[in-house]
Chain A
Amino acid sequence: MKSQLAYFNGLFSAGTKNASASPYSVMVRKEVSDQVRSWRFIVLAGLILLTFLGSMYVSLSNLRQATANAADPDRLFLYLKLLTITDGTLPPFHVFISFLGPLLGIAMGFDAINSEQSNGTLVRLMAQPVYRDSLINAKFTASLIVISTLFLSLSLLMTGGGLMITGVKIEPSELVRILCFTVLSIIYVAFWLNLSILLSVRFRQTATSALTAIAIWLFFTVFYQILVNIIIKAVLPDPNTLTESQIISYNNIILTVLRFVPSQLFTDATTTLLMPSVRSLGPLTMEQMAGAIPAPISVRESLLVVWPQVSGLIAATVVCFALSYYLFMRREIRT
């Protein structure tokens, strides 16, 4: 009974000013302020803002042509067009994100644990009455909050700017698609964030973990495709000797192999979300295409198409987090 009373005491005093926050929320607050004040975040956020403004400028100046193009089934989705069209001088915003997002994630996480350890602050924190996992959870949550705020404000800025400049009403389905794109970008950056946190737990030197994270990123963005192409050329039989169904099955295998890359998953998913007329991410047979009208599909259908990609990204994120959690909990805490 006494313990119950104590529980209620805690419950009622929680709202008053005298209450103390839980260690976890204290840590989150501190980490968020650290991230926001750190130079590398300011630099990267500035970079992303610049590319955002650049690609917005390019797409706004080409908006008239794009919406006038009668052959394009997506021409009426003005706000999605804002995110995707380009005249070739600058890549569209979502391509920039697939490129800069990993850098942002890596920059925010590569020294999460090992800098605390080499500074001697880790032992000091662990000597306080806090659970060890609070720290790694707080690090992840704080970075996630910062990333989410950044992307959400960018997409709202885009929508608002579009409203002001064109004066065209936004369709609910467009809003949903843009929000889904935002969430997807957050998940994508969260994957790289978790990967770099994992490396920061694994390696004692911040330089090692940063370089390893960048190496992984470079491998996936540049070398993986080259490697896959070389292997395919060496292994696959000559396409001229194959039947059509064999070519399709081989194509599917190649696509599956390429989709081990997170950026491929992200690109697949964003294209589908931002271009409503995309209805499949694999090759379609003539029978499947027969009778199909080139028209946009509904949000739900698009989401169904990208669902495997999204769950793949989430799974990769969770695996990285679980690994770093495991390693960190087993870790000897000493300088």
Chain B
Amino acid sequence: MESPIIEMHGLTKRYGSLKAVDNLHLSIAKGEIFGLLGPNGAGKSTTILMLLGLTEPDAGEARICGLNATRNPIPVKRKVGYLPDNVGFYNDLTALENLSYIARLNGIPEAEVQERSRQMLVEVGLEAAIHKKAGAFSRGMKQRLGLADVLIKQPEVIILDEPTLGIDPAGVRDFLELLRQLNQRQGLTILLSSHHLHQVQQVCNRVGIFVGGQLLAEGNVEKLAANLFNAAPWVVEVTLRTDVPQREALEKELLQLPGVKTVTGAANAVEVSGGEDITPDIVRCFVAKGLDVTGVHKKTYGLDEIYHRYFENNLKEDITNEKSTGLFQRSFLGRYKKR
């Protein structure tokens, strides 16, 4: 593996008694697309802000391109392009004016500013809207302009915070394709945070799952799935026409089947997870009891399930440890952050 371009060592950030980011260790290699996954308020944005030196960590350090982000924020910001979630532009200025302002702030020589801004707008597909005011832009166009903003300084690393939020599916596809091209053609390192799992799955080489300020797992999708589900990798969901009569008896019977680990579900649905694929046996069991099966669904594992599973496990731990206050605080932080 190539040398890491982003390194985090024991990064910690507290807001009062709440740990927004808790002892985070992570390194990302040059040329990688890394996806930071987690629910709202998990500490993704805080981590990104610490990487850019916009927020001071309480402990640990973040290094980008070998520079300490807290001590040398200006050189770091020269090499890193950052697209915040809810990126905003000056509504009274045109796309070109908005972009050339950023170009000038980055010290691009005055003679080149106009030309380069124009080129960049063409590259992200906004050539038709160069002289349109940014206030009239749609969400997707703003996101493109934001990307142009990030790219005009010719960064080595780009960090995107929830880049696909609020864009329609076609827009998302184009946007992710653009990211992939940038990564392949220019060897850019990309770090993106999201809770849109399928999109992350499409572009990322590696993902990290981030819940409650902690990195629960990292690796590529297959590795994560293998880690998580080696205990009970198969889940079958059976739907009945009516509510399940004598649920306890049925559950007992299902647990008798070879390999079945847990049986859950409510009303007219039953979820059976186990170590082997015994879908026919399960269905047979239902039929033998005279129940009307309307649907059988065997689940396969994508990032969605991986993520849900991690998130659920984490919640359960919280409850078993009687840390209900932590749960409350997390949802509170989520609200606070989105303000």
Stretch from A43-51, A123-131, A162-170 that touches the partner: A123-131
Among A26, A127, A333, the most chain B Cβ lie within 10 Å of the Cβ of: A127
Indicate if the CB atoms of A127 and B86 lie closer than 8 Å.
no
Are A124 and B110 interface neighbours, CB within 8 A?
no
User: Does B286 sit within 8 A of A, measured CB to CB?
Assistant: no
Interface centre among A23, A119, A120, A128 (most CB of B within 10 A): A128
A335 close to B110 (CB less than 8 A): no
> Which residues does chain B contribute within 8 Å of A287, judged by CB atoms?
none
**A21 contact from B54, B80, B110, Cβ within 8 A:** B110
Q: List, in ascending order, chain A residues with CB within 8 A of B49's CB.
A: 333-334
Residue of B with least CB distance to A131: B74
Residue of A nearest to B101 (CB): A30
A132 CB to closest chain B CB, in angstroms?
Answer: 9
Chain A residues in 8 Å Cβ range of B108: 20
Is A233 an interface residue when CB atoms closer than 8 A count as contact? no
Residues of B within 8 A of A18 (CB): 109-111
- How far, in Å, is B24 (CB) from chain A's closest CB? 18
Taking a contact as CB atoms under 8 Å apart, the answer to whether A333 and B110 are in contact is no
In the bound assembly, the distance between CA atoms of A124 and B88 in angstroms comes to 7
Is the CB of B75 closer than 8 A to any CB of chain A?
A: yes
B1 within 8 A of A: no
The answer, yes or no, to whether B307 is at the interface (CB within 8 Å) is no
**What residues of A have a CB within 8 angstroms of the CB of B104 in the complex?**
20-21, 23, 26
Residues of B within 8 A of A127 (CB): 52, 54, 77, 80-82, 84
What's the Cα separation between A124 and B105 when bound, in Å? 11
B59 at interface (Cβ–Cβ under 8 A)?
no
Assembly CA distance A119 to B82 (angstroms): 16
Q: Is B85 on the interface with A (CB-CB < 8 A)? A: yes
Q: Which residues of the other chain, B, contact A129 by a CB distance below 8 angstroms? A: 74-75, 77-78, 105-107, 153
Q: B residues 33-86 with Cβ under 8 Å of A?
A: 45, 49, 52, 54-55, 74-75, 77-78, 80-82, 84-86
Instruction: Tell me if B122 counts as interface (CB < 8 A to partner A).
Output: no
With CB as the reference atom, state the residue of chain A lying closest to B49. Answer: A334
B78 x A120 contact (CB < 8 A): no
Contact partners of A26 in chain B: CB under 8 A: 101, 104-105
Q: A127-B54, A128-B77, A335-B86 are in contact. Are A37 and B109 (CB under 8 A)?
A: no
Interface 1/0 per residue, B211-244 and A, CB below 8 Å: 0000000000000000000000000000000000
> Of B52, B74, B84, B106, which contacts A335 at CB under 8 A?
B84
Residues of A within 8 A of B332 (CB): none
Q: In the assembly, what is the distance between CA of A69 and CA of B75, in Å?
A: 69
Q: Which residue of A lies closest to B110 (CB)?
A: A20
Q: Which of A17, A21, A123 contacts B84 (CB 8 A)?
A: A123
Question: Quick check: is A238 within 8 A (CB to CB) of the other chain?
Answer: no
Nearest B residue (CB) for A19: B109
B137 lies within 8 A of chain A by Cβ:
no
Q: Which of B100-143 contact A (CB under 8 A)?
A: 101-102, 104-111
The 4 nearest A-B residue pairs measured at CB? A120-B88, A127-B82, A119-B88, A129-B77
29 A-B pairs within 8 Å (CB atoms) are namely A17-B110, A17-B111, A18-B110, A18-B111, A20-B104, A20-B107, A20-B109, A21-B104, A119-B89, A119-B91, A120-B86, A120-B87, A121-B88, A123-B54, A124-B84, A124-B102, A124-B149, A125-B105, A127-B52, A127-B80, A127-B82, A127-B84, A128-B102, A128-B106, A128-B153, A129-B75, A129-B105, A333-B55, A334-B49
CB within 8 Å of A: which residues of B? 45, 49, 52, 54-55, 74-75, 77-78, 80-82, 84-92, 101-102, 104-111, 146, 149, 153, 337, 339
